[in-house]
Amino acid sequence: MYQSGEGVNVLVFMKWRSLEESSTAADTRSLADVFAERKQLIAEYVPPDVRAIHERAVKELQQSEISARALQTGSKAPEFALEDHNGNVIRSAELLRSSRLVLCFFRGRWCPFCIGQLEATNSVVAQLRAFSASLLAISPQTKHQSSLTADQHRLHFPLLCDTGNSVARQFGLVYRVPEYQQEVYRSAFVNLPFVNGDSSWELPIPATYIIDHDGKVLFASADPDYTARPEPDEILQFLSQLPKS
């Protein structure tokens, strides 16, 4: 059904990959500018019928209860312990004793918008540490996939493996990819059962949280539109206004 779409999806994926690997220099553009470029590539190479399917999925999510269900500012964040891409167990309660947490829930290494956010946030890791904040990124992909992500994109923070979306579910972020969109993913070689190690076809909506020492959510951004993410500078600005911990 998507023979033409399959070819262009592979082409676009190769284009994104070549852009990401073409230079060791950090990308100093805003996240909005990075995303604008990727949206332009989509408009140029991905057929309208394929784009319409992804737009339909986003619209249905926006009309669902997931935004209201997602953990909000002022809520108490659940404690968690997850293995990172190096096999270390990261416990939120231990980190919160000495730092605030910045949590980024992302879909996977196959999503160029997720990669854009991870790379942009990677560029401010030192500044986050200066504000006594620890950065963690959480996805349902396997440890092997997370390790590939960290190595390929030279990330300097832990990528946590949320098997079965157990933590994302506690944050109210999980949804199941609809059948009609699964077909498009398969045609573009996005094999979620392989990437995530289960057959659920469940993903988290992208979300960013800042959590205080007592577990209180100070900042929450959870959007069914996977192209809508907070700028790293917005996170830094928010942290700069908090009392020193």
Residue 131: pLDDT band by 50, 70, 90 thresholds? very high
The answer to whether 186 and 196 are in contact (CB under 8 A) is no
| pLDDT score for 18 | 39
Residue 77 DSSP SS3? coil
For tokens 């933590």, name the residue: 167
Q: What is the enclosing helix (H) or strand (E) of 74?
A: none
Longest CA pairwise span in the chain (Å): 56
Residue 128 confidence (pLDDT) above 80? yes
| pLDDT score for 133 | 98
| pLDDT score for 244 | 86
| pLDDT score for 77 | 98
| pLDDT score for 23 | 46
For tokens 């190769």, name the residue: 14
Domain boundaries, the chain: 3-240
Residue 188: pLDDT band by 50, 70, 90 thresholds? confident
- Report the pLDDT averaged over residues 107-135: 97
pLDDT digits (tens, 9 = 90+) for 7-32: 344 444 434 443 444 444 567 899 99
Range from 81-85, 159-163, 173-177, 185-189 carrying the lowest mean pLDDT: 185-189
| pLDDT score for 193 | 97
**More confident: 229 or 1:** 229
pLDDT digits (tens, 9 = 90+) for 82-111: 999 999 999 999 999 999 999 999 999 999
Dist. CA 93–CA 124, nearest whole Å: 23
Residue 4 confidence (pLDDT) above 60? no
| pLDDT score for 245 | 74
Q: Does 3-240 carry CATH code 3.40.309.10? A: no
| pLDDT score for 15 | 44
| pLDDT score for 26 | 63
